[in-house]
Structure 1
Amino acid sequence: MSNPLKILVVDDSKVSRALIIALIMTRQPHAVVIEAGDGQAAVETARQEPPDLAILDINMPVMSGLEAAEQIRRLAPQTRLALLTANAQDAMRQKAQALNVPLFKKPAKGEVIDQILALLEAP
Structure 2
Amino acid sequence: MTGDRTVRVLVADDEPLVRAGVRAVLASDPTIEVVAEAGDGRSAVEAARRHRPDVALLDVQMPELDGLDAGAEIVRLLPGTRTVVLTTFGADDNIRRALATGASGFVLKASDPRELVTAVHAVAEGAAFLSPRVAERVVAQLRRDVGAPRSATVLVDRLTDREREVLGLLSRGLSNAEIGRRLFMVEGTVKGHVSSILVKLGAANRVQAAILGYEAGLTR
Same fold (TM over 0.5): yes
* 1:80-119 → structure 2 map (5 Å cutoff): 80-101=82-103, 102-107=105-110, 109-117=112-120, 118-119=122-123
Aligned counterpart in structure 2 of residue 20 of structure 1, from 19, 22, 37? 22
The share of aligned pairs that are identical, in percent, is: 35
Question: Unpaired segments of 5 or more residues in structure 1?
Answer: none
Task: Determine which structure has more spread, i.e. the larger CA radius of gyration.
Answer: 2
Quick check: which one's helix share is greater?
Answer: 2
Q: Conserved in 2, the CA contact under 8 Å of 1:46 and 1:75?
A: no
CA distance in 2, matches of 1:109, 1:34: 23
Runs of 4+ in 1 over 6 A off after TM superposition: none
Q: TM-score, normalised by structure 2?
A: 0.51
**Residue equivalent to 1:34:** 36
Are residue 44 (structure 1) and residue 46 (structure 2) matched? yes
Q: Conserved in 1, the CA contact under 8 Å of 2:85 and 2:107?
A: yes
Structure with more contact order per residue of length (Cα contacts < 8 Å, sep ≥ 6): 1
C-alpha offsets along residues 42-70 of structure 1, whole Å, 9 cap, x if unaligned?
Answer: 11111222111100000111110001001
Q: Which amino acid aligns with 1:48?
A: R
Are residue 120 (structure 1) and residue 124 (structure 2) matched? yes
Question: Unpaired segments of 5 or more residues in structure 2?
Answer: 127-175, 177-220
Q: 1:34 to 1:71 in 2, by over 3 A?
A: same
Q: TM-score, normalised by structure 1?
A: 0.88
Shift of 1:4: 4.4
Q: CA RMSD in A?
A: 1.9
